Amino acid sequence: MRLKLLSPGEMNESQRQTYDESIAGKRGKPPAPMMAWLNSPDMARHATRLGEVLRYDTIFPAKLSEIAILVTARHWTAHYEWYAHKGLALAGGMDPEIIDAIRDRRTPEFDDPKARMIYDLAKSLHEGHGVEKGLYDKAVQLLGERGVVEVIGLCGYYTMVSMTLNTFEFGLPEGEVLELS
């Protein structure tokens, strides 16, 4: 870990307010990257609020939103992000074979066309740096404009999360093993 994470007693007033707000939110605890972001309390506050919206208040159930998050974690080889969201994806009902395929950089088999579209959008955003017109038109038809915006938001936010976790070398909890190579 490249950064000393502050305990609540070491935080200044602005950092402590952000920390307390995160505990009072839907997560019930501060998200790991926020502990690094507290070095910029206003950024931490806004990023954490955005993360809560994207995690809990999109039009997608966890089983679908976690596709975009796992594709992002895999793209950035973000070990901590992968570890955290693999568990959330499983808890949300995602098929373990889909998770394994994303981990192994294979295209998963999807029964749900929305799941496949979220995967295709996330891959296009990360690998193609955008979305070509045909895919965009199909995505709007299937997911709606709000859904497309929220997939972009998920990929963008979790890119920032992945960059933070990777830069500061957040380690996995004791006993957990790296799954990404």
How does pLDDT run across 131-173, given as a tens digit for each residue?
A: 999 999 999 999 999 999 999 999 999 999 999 999 999 999 9
Residue 102 has a pLDDT of 98
Is pLDDT above 90 for 177?
Answer: yes
Residue 29 has a pLDDT of 85
Contact between residue 90 and residue 99 where contact means Cβ atoms under 8 Å apart: yes
Residues of the chain with CATH 1.20.1290.10: 62-168
Work out the percent of the chain whose per-residue pLDDT is above 70: 100
Work out the percent of the chain whose per-residue pLDDT is above 90: 93
Contact between residue 59 and residue 69 where contact means Cβ atoms under 8 Å apart: no
CATH topology of domain 62-168: AhpD-like (1.20.1290)
What is the pTM assigned to this prediction?
Answer: 0.95
Burial 110-123 (b: 16+ CB within 10 A, else e): beeebbbbbbbbbb
Is pLDDT above 90 for 73?
Answer: yes
